[in-house]
Amino acid sequence: MQLQLPEPSPEALAASHSLQALIARHIRQGGGWISFAQYMEQVLYAPGLGYYSGGAAKLGKDGDFTTAPEITPLFGATLARLAADLFARTGPRILEFGAGTGRLAHDILTELRAAGVAVDSYAIVELSGELRARQEQTLRDFPEVRWLDRMPEAFSGVVLGNEVLDAMPVSLVVRTADGWAERGVALGGQGFVFEDRPCDPALAAQIPDQHGLAPGYLTEVHPVAAGFMRSLAAMLTAGRARDGKGGVALLIDYGFPAHEYYHPQRRQGTLMCHYRHHAHPDPFYLPGLQDVTAHVDFTTMALAASGGGLDLLGYTSQAAFLLGAGIGDLLLRTPPEDAMRYLPQANAMQKLISPAEMGELFKVLAVGTGAELPDALLRGDRSHRL
């Protein structure tokens, strides 16, 4: 596939070539084939070379994509209001996975500080050294922030994961005339190529109507993200046992419930790559320099959490969630008459809640133990659609 995309710097190109050589060695050591999940793990997280563990800028106008906290501080302020409400049940602690530039944490802590709400700790689990350095700079005025290299064994409080699940490696499966095959990565004459191998039945078992889909149907399954949800459940369950306090996790991402995710018409899956604000479908383009993502199967995430002992607290669109949590009230703190300040904020909020932008594609899954969501957030609940 010939892609007409911006050229990388010589240094970035050299890093990508080094990563390609590393992956090629893994393929040879694996007998000529690795799963796509293994490939995705390498291109995103290989130490010093992967997309999230290397040094390239990822977020904002100079990066490859933009997230809700980069669009407006109203997003973080809205989550801060909700967190303050939940603290009565969970205790005043926040744990964020994959904090990006640190903008979300900054906006949450700024809002809580202005409201006079004390936070015992704001912990960040961050795998990217480059992003952690940016976070440390952004959050230098908040001594309650600390960084962790891994998920704690026990935690009670509010857990945040904004666009975290979509960055976890996925397995590719394809329906053939003889059943399901796993699509992995091999070496071809010009680089990496797809190659199918027999599929572990456990992979295809995640698909609700696995026998009713036509040959040629390609999709992703999410064992890594499901494992993360089970670990999250163990962490919050242990936290409640240790502290006597509840825990609530909010996972915000783009995706669908399973019956929409594995719809017969979605026959090429959801895998997508992002490079310099260009979206394209080729995961073999400049490994290490582009993001590789897949939409989230929220049914599987909810089942993994509930199987680990958590309650399903809610599932809804980002628009319904933010409106229920009071983003409109926060916008009106700026008088509409002050058009110079009000209009940019109103336009930014519209991007977050419009069905044509992020409002419908992005969903919010809330799971937890010993806590529940405010009634205002449950009016748009779609848990029955999972």
Domain extents for the chain?
68-168+223-261+294-385
The average pLDDT across 246-262 equals 97
Residue 120 in this model has a pLDDT that exceeds 80: yes
pLDDT of residue 289: 93
CA angle centred on 343, ends 339 and 347, rounded to 5°: 175
pLDDT greater at residue 83 or residue 48: 83
Kindly report the pTM of this predicted structure.
0.95
Query: Do residues 170 and 253 touch, judged by C-beta distance below 8 A?
Result: no
Residue 61 in this model has a pLDDT that exceeds 50: no
Q: What percent of the chain has pLDDT over 90?
A: 87
pLDDT of residue 197: 96
pLDDT of residue 53: 83
- Torsions phi, psi of 93, nearest 5? -135, 145
Rounded CA-CA distance 32/2 in Å is 25
Rounded CA-CA distance 183/216 in Å is 12
Q: Is the dihedral of CA 277, 168, 107, 325 positive or negative?
A: positive
> For 211-249, what is each residue's pLDDT tens digit?
899 999 999 999 999 999 999 999 999 999 999 999 999
Rounded CA-CA distance 182/219 in Å is 10
Q: Which CATH class is domain 68-168+223-261+294-385?
A: alpha beta
Query: Do residues 164 and 251 touch, judged by C-beta distance below 8 A?
Result: yes
pLDDT greater at residue 42 or residue 131: 42
pLDDT of residue 270: 97
Q: What's the pLDDT band for 2 if we cut at 50, 70, 90?
A: low
Query: Do residues 36 and 287 touch, judged by C-beta distance below 8 A?
Result: no
pLDDT of residue 265: 93
Query: Do residues 359 and 102 touch, judged by C-beta distance below 8 A?
Result: no
CA angle centred on 344, ends 280 and 82, rounded to 5°: 85
pLDDT of residue 64: 52
What DSSP designation does 114 have?
A: H
For residue 146, what are its two tokens?
Answer: 């600390």
